[in-house]
A and B are shown apart, each in its own frame.
Chain A
């Protein structure tokens, strides 16, 4: 009798434990389904310049390195720049509007809000894409302008009196 009771007790114990486990799994599944994951805009048909896991983990290092080189050495064509991230990832929605950094839709803010990591980049930097100034467009017009300036100066015959 005692033996039977002990066995029944073990069985009940096992069953309770099993059900609890199932219950926990169910709970965690539903909890996961309800967790709001960040909506990240990945441009169609394009791949990031670095592998995704690499850029997720190390994007700040790339940007920091690029920052100092651009600021102090004047190097402006490195691909891993903040401006390039913005150009690819921050795009207009179906209404043609671009979400600012304060919005959850913004590429940077979506993740950073999710991870609760504050970023200060956009206190100074533009948070949406803009046209670059391309080399070459200005040069011919510049030469023309300089010629105009100097011709005008010579034609007026004004010696600059010092």
Chain B
């Protein structure tokens, strides 16, 4: 099995991605049980989908945010009134299409050195094939912007953090390049910059010796825009990606999730990811 960079995914990833499909919480810890029990009234929809946030947002009057882009004035702090997320319909994601990857590379000024094993990738295309049915899938995989992110748990300096509006970032001013977060991430979403970088984009500072990953195009989002990958996918008329506010019940993404549902990859880890997928069938 190969991803868009031609890297062969190892067996472990394949096993992981297979378990992604029929993910049931296996080892529910005591803590998890208690936290789930506390909000049990709101989350009995389906296993792996934590809907207590949406319910909370409805209560806290986020209903007036009926656009799905940021309307926050730029001099105001980000707040937990929003949670930015993406919904990816894998049935619409074309096999072999790399529009989202190309747009991401262009937006963030990512250029490789022809070494796919170590070159930076914020987003990659992954092809999956079910061993039992032979059903094939293609999906973009990037930082899943977890609420309880393992990268944040392990970061020794506080460089990895999740912003109040749910976007997971690396503060490269503080990052010491230890790469612990890369080990911790179950999605292999992060990359390390091995070599000097030149001609960076204004909105995407990046340099040698730090770890980086998908930022959900945070500058664009703060300026009331959408991530470059979503824009490219829609421009190509594939419409496989929707970006929006998961806490706003009226946003297109919330409406779509309400109508058709969506899955988190590795939902057994209970990370409450900001990126959800549809059509992950075996």
Show the binding face of A for B, using Cβ within 8 Å. Answer: 67, 71-78, 83, 123-126, 129-136, 138-139, 142-143, 145-146, 148-150, 152-153, 158-162
Contacts and interface: CB of A to CB of B under 8 A. Distances in A.
Contacts of B68: 146
Interface of B: 67-69, 72, 74-78, 89, 91, 161, 163, 165, 169, 171-173, 196-197, 199-203, 205-208, 210, 218-220, 222-226, 231, 234-235, 237, 239, 242, 244, 252, 256, 260-261, 263, 278-279, 281
- Describe B's contact surface by its main secondary structure: loop
B207 A124 contact: yes
A124 B210 CA distance: 10
Nearest to A156: B92
B69 A125 contact: no
Contacts of B220: 133, 138
Nearest to B235: A145
Given A126-B205, A134-B223, A162-B263, 9 more contacts: A76-B223, A78-B75, A123-B207, A125-B205, A126-B199, A142-B225, A143-B67, A148-B234, A149-B239
A35 B240 CA distance: 63
A77 B90 CA distance: 37
For B77, B171, B199, B223, the residue with the greatest tally of chain A CB atoms inside 10 Å of its CB is: B223
A70 to B, nearest CB: 9
Contact of B76 (A75, A150, A152, A153): A75
A149 B242 contact: yes
